[in-house]
């Protein structure tokens, strides 16, 4: 092997430029992703919709690990909405079984130091799923890496309705209700609001996702179907986030 000084110099320059780019960029504190497009991905590959959900679950694990690696604080993913029960029973069963398999996988994120929390109305879920979710949360409660929220049977309107019911049941006087009172009664209480919402699959809507919390979020939409979503797409999105001028109503 011969040492080629020019090659070496080019490598050092490229690496230091990359490092500088990483150092200068701002990472959102809380990214929320609508993991959409599994069905269309399956169709594109002439596969059943269930295969799309399997591929989507793999992407979810890869992206969560990547977010942890780059030092993101919070990631909240939309796995199943309060509206998704409208799908054929077979598909709902498939998704629930996939969730069950994911939860049974002891490997999960244990070695990654990721702290897992499930958000949504978990009550109607099967007892074994609820028990596995609890186990997953308990098992990762001391993790100090990425805080990963997985939204299951989640709906923004349902979440706000529940918060209102709780505030009324707690006997809080109307004059004492502030925006913080509402925030403190949502599933995301104590967390920073998502500052960046990512939706692949070519749809331009929130589909009832974090509607209170995303009031001032930045949005990134893309035609990529969720199973095809790679860390480089996330990087592209974060670069875009860095070009946004966030004014929060100011000048
Ligand atoms: C997202 O993919 C997964 C869930 C909603 C559970 P979809 O299943 O909605 O995929 P498309 O939108 O039909 O392609
Ligand atoms: C949103 O996707 C819910 C999840 C990704 C879990 P949907 O596919 O259910 O949303 P719509 O029906 O296109 O609005
Ligand atoms: Mg969809």
Please indicate, yes or no, if residue 48 is contained in any of the structural domains. yes
What's the chain's length in residues? Answer: 251
Please indicate, yes or no, if residue 249 is contained in any of the structural domains. no
Please indicate, yes or no, if residue 164 is contained in any of the structural domains. no
CA of 67 to the centre of ligand 1 (A): 22
Closest C-alpha to ligand 2, atom 10: 207
Which CATH number do you get for residue 86? 3.40.1180.10
Please indicate, yes or no, if residue 243 is contained in any of the structural domains. no
Sequence-ordered alpha helix ranges (H) in the chain: 5-24, 38-44, 49-69, 89-104, 127-139, 156-169, 179-183, 231-242
> What's the domain range around 229?
26-155+195-238
Please indicate, yes or no, if residue 85 is contained in any of the structural domains. yes
Cα distance between residue 188 and residue 98, in whole Å: 24
Please indicate, yes or no, if residue 166 is contained in any of the structural domains. no
- Give 92's contacts (C-beta < 8 A, 6+ positions apart): 84, 85
Output the tens digit of pLDDT for each of the chain's 251 residues. Answer: 445 556 666 666 555 555 555 668 999 999 999 999 999 999 999 999 999 999 999 999 999 999 999 999 999 999 999 999 999 999 999 999 999 999 998 777 888 999 999 999 999 999 999 999 999 999 999 999 999 999 999 999 999 999 999 999 999 999 999 999 999 999 999 999 999 999 999 999 999 999 999 999 999 999 999 999 999 999 999 999 999 999 999 99
pTM of the prediction?
Answer: 0.92
Please indicate, yes or no, if residue 175 is contained in any of the structural domains. no
Please indicate, yes or no, if residue 174 is contained in any of the structural domains. no
Catalytic residue, candidates 36, 112, 136, 193: 36
| Cα-only R_g, the chain | 20
36 included as an active-site residue = yes
Nearest ligand (C-alpha, residue 52): 1
Catalytic residue, candidates 62, 84, 158, 228: 84
Taking the CA of residue 226 as reference, the ligand 2 atom at the shortest distance is 5
Domains of the chain: total: 1
Which structure tokens are listed for 124?
């109607």
């Amino acid at each position: 092997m011969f040492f080629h000084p020019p090659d070496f110099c080019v490598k050092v320059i490229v690496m230091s430029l990359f490092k500088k780019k990483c150092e200068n960029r701002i990472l959102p504190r809380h990214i929320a992703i609508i993991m959409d497009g599994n069905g269309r991905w399956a169709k594109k590959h002439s596969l059943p919709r269930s295969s799309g959900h399997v591929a989507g679950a793999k992407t979810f694990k890869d992206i969560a690990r990547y977010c942890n690696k780059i030092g993101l604080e919070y990631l909240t993913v939309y796995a199943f909405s309060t509206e998704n029960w409208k799908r054929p029973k077979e598909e709902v069963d498939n998704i629930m079984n996939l969730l069950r398999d994911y939860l049974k996988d002891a490997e999960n994120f244990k070695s990654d130091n990721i702290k897992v929390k499930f958000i949504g109305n978990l009550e109607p879920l099967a007892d074994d799923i609820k028990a596995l979710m609890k186990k997953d949360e308990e098992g990762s409660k001391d993790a100090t890496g990425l805080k990963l929220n997985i939204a299951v049977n989640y709906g923004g309107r349902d979440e706000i309705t529940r918060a209102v019911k709780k505030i009324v049941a707690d006997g809080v006087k109307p004059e004492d209700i502030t925006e913080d009172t509402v925030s403190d009664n949502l599933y995301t209480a104590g967390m920073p609001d998502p500052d960046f919402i990512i939706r692949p699959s070519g749809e331009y809507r929130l589909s009832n996702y974090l509607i209170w919390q995303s009031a001032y979020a930045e949005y990134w939409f893309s035609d990529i179907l969720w199973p095809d979503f790679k860390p480089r797409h996330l990087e592209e999105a974060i670069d875009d986030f860095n070009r946004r001028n966030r004014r929060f109503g100011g000048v």
